[in-house]
Amino acid sequence: MLKLMRLISSSLSIHMIKLLSLVLFFTTATKVACRLSNEMDRLALLSIKELIAEDPLGSLSSWNSSIDLCKWDGVTCSRKHQRVVVLDLRGKSLRGTMSPFLGNLSFLRSLHLQENRFQEKIPLELYRLFRLQHLNISINSLQGEIPTNLSNSLGVIELSFNDLVGKIPASFGSLSKLTYLGLFANNLIGGIPPFLEYGIGGRTSTEGDVYSYGILLLEMLTGKRPTNELITSRQSLHVFCKVALPERVMEIVDSRMLLEEPTEAENDAQKERVRQDKIRECSVSLVRIGIACSAESPSERMNIKDVIIGLMTVKEVFLGVGIHGRRQMRMRLTGEGTSRE
């Protein structure tokens, strides 16, 4: 009996040793794999730095071997695997070319290189970034054509204010998650392809035009673009404005729109209060129009006829046409005078 117990104990010890060895092996292998992957990101970033000819603000001075790459300026890593998931070098006055080694940052979800002086072409290697959701390389001096094989995971593509040429790639029609495409101020040719996402609907239409107008109106009123970090990290521009109505509308309106100096007649405290109330009322109404135009479903959007009437009514109220104009504006924008929002 004693011999049997010793045999069992010995057998269990051997199995335990094997099990512990396997656990140690896989744990070590995982750590090694993470270090190798992290090292690949580090080498990619250093290769990106090599193609930066000018860094007047010293933004990349932390990109060196004495500092962990996850603490480098503009770099954000995932907690678990310590892989680079965000590269944000916006507004750093960097001059150079976009490195093809950007394509080696395989865990990258957001790439912000806007407001710099990057030149030459957009690297084709960006197609490797199959996790990329947000691409903003606007306000640079990028040339050549737009790559045709960008990741299908992209929700925002902002390429405005560059020197890009050619046509909008037909492959953009297959980007099912795309919600915003900025191409303003380039040298592109051809029209807007019918396959691009005027919100839900999938084809060019008057409802799509109204949607675009609504977003433009909200941009003008708030001074924020749909790609603004405050908006895209939490909610859409439409929702951002909608939740502010009506009490907080003056908090989201661009302060530059309110810089008009009061006239001598308006220096009277009571008249100034009336003026401020009128500005607030008109701001609320304009935001309501923008929201009604940019509703997600085409069937819920304000029709263009009502948009024009609404804008004219706001103008009349602002210029002090009378009480009737205010009543008409409230009726139209609260749904009393129209079947749409």
Taking the C-alpha atoms of residue 65 and residue 42, their distance in angstroms, rounded to an integer, is 9
> Is pLDDT of 318 > 60?
yes
Cα→Cα distances 169→41, 147, 174, 175, 251, Å: 29, 8, 10, 11, 39
Among 268, 272, 249, 248, CA closest to 260: 272
Range scoring the smallest mean pLDDT among 26-40, 51-65, 267-281? 26-40
Q: Hey, what are 204's tokens?
A: 């060019």
Strands 156-158 and 180-182, sheet pairing? parallel
**Which of 44-48, 193-197, 209-213 holds the top average pLDDT?**
44-48
How sure is the predictor about 267, in pLDDT bands with cuts at 50, 70 and 90? low
Q: Which residues contact 340 (CB under 8 A, 6 or more apart)?
A: 292, 300, 301, 302, 303, 306
Cα 307-323-250 angle, rounded to 5 deg:
60
How sure is the predictor about 340, in pLDDT bands with cuts at 50, 70 and 90? very low
Return the axis-axis angle of helices 269-293 and 323-333, rounded to nearest 10°: 30
Residue with tokens 């405005």: 160
Neighbours of 310 (CB within 10 A): 23
Among 219, 74, 227, CA closest to 157: 227
Contact 161, 142 (CB under 8 A): no
Taking the C-alpha atoms of residue 26 and residue 14, their distance in angstroms, rounded to an integer, is 18
Q: In what order do the strands lie in the sheet with 75-77?
A: 75-77, 84-88, 110-112, 134-136, 156-158, 180-182
> Is pLDDT of 102 > 90?
yes
Q: What is the mean pLDDT of the chain?
A: 78
Among 53, 40, 34, 162, CA closest to 102: 40
Q: Which residues contact 192 (CB under 8 A, 6 or more apart)?
A: 168, 204
Taking the C-alpha atoms of residue 196 and residue 175, their distance in angstroms, rounded to an integer, is 9
Tell whether omega for the bond before 194 is within 30 degrees of 0, i.e. cis. no
Taking the C-alpha atoms of residue 98 and residue 51, their distance in angstroms, rounded to an integer, is 7
How sure is the predictor about 134, in pLDDT bands with cuts at 50, 70 and 90? very high
Return the axis-axis angle of helices 304-318 and 269-293, rounded to nearest 10°: 170
Contact 300, 341 (CB under 8 A): yes
| DSSP annotation of 303 | P
pTM: 0.54
Range scoring the smallest mean pLDDT among 85-94, 118-127, 236-245? 236-245
Taking the C-alpha atoms of residue 274 and residue 208, their distance in angstroms, rounded to an integer, is 37
Taking the C-alpha atoms of residue 94 and residue 192, their distance in angstroms, rounded to an integer, is 32
